[in-house]
Amino acid sequence: MISAGDFRNGITIELEGNVFQIIEFQHVKPGKGAAFVRTKLKNIKNGGVVEKTFRPTEKCPQARIDRKDMQYLYADGDMYNFMDNETYEQISLNKDEVGDALKFVKENEMVKVCSHNGSVFAIEPPLFVELEITETEPGFKGDTATGATKPATVETGAQVAVPLFVEIGDKIKIDTRTGEYLSRV
């Protein structure tokens, strides 16, 4: 159990039969009346965000989230297959459970599989990936002064905005949280 006075960003709690992650919290001490904690909570199963206030002495059970490193093996239609490299146990997840978390992940790369009480609710890709450009328009010399970008397709099929000097066959580094181009490799 964790009291509302001990809330911090990133902590997961169980509330009303759901599991929520604290996105923001604020201790409020009004001039008149009792203090309270204002929070913004994200439902980890469906992604919905709610705002709720707590008394500082209220207690909530803390949710235990398991994050396990697994290898992304391959996609088979709408099913994605992962393997635990320690036990060699394989699991299959459907397209709805995975979402677009794998749009920058190649086969045989490591990802984190997040679960609560044995049910998987999210896939966390590595923070940065290096992918090869498979399709883009040709760039021209001298087009780098403006900081302009052009669309490019990487080897996983995802679209990324890249600077004009990037060409087909270049390897680039991408931030998977924002989908932004970082640098050439």
pLDDT tens digit string along 46-67?
A: 778 999 999 988 999 988 888 8
Parallel, antiparallel or unpaired: strands 159-163 and 149-154: antiparallel
Please give the domain boundaries of the chain with CATH numbers for all domains: 2-60 (2.30.30.30), 65-124 (2.40.50.140), 128-184 (2.40.50.140)
Closest CA to 14 of 53, 44, 38: 44
Closest by CA to 129, choosing from 110, 148, 147, 143, is 110
Encode pLDDT of 129-175 as tens digits. 999 999 988 866 665 566 788 899 998 888 999 888 888 889 999 98
pTM, full prediction: 0.70
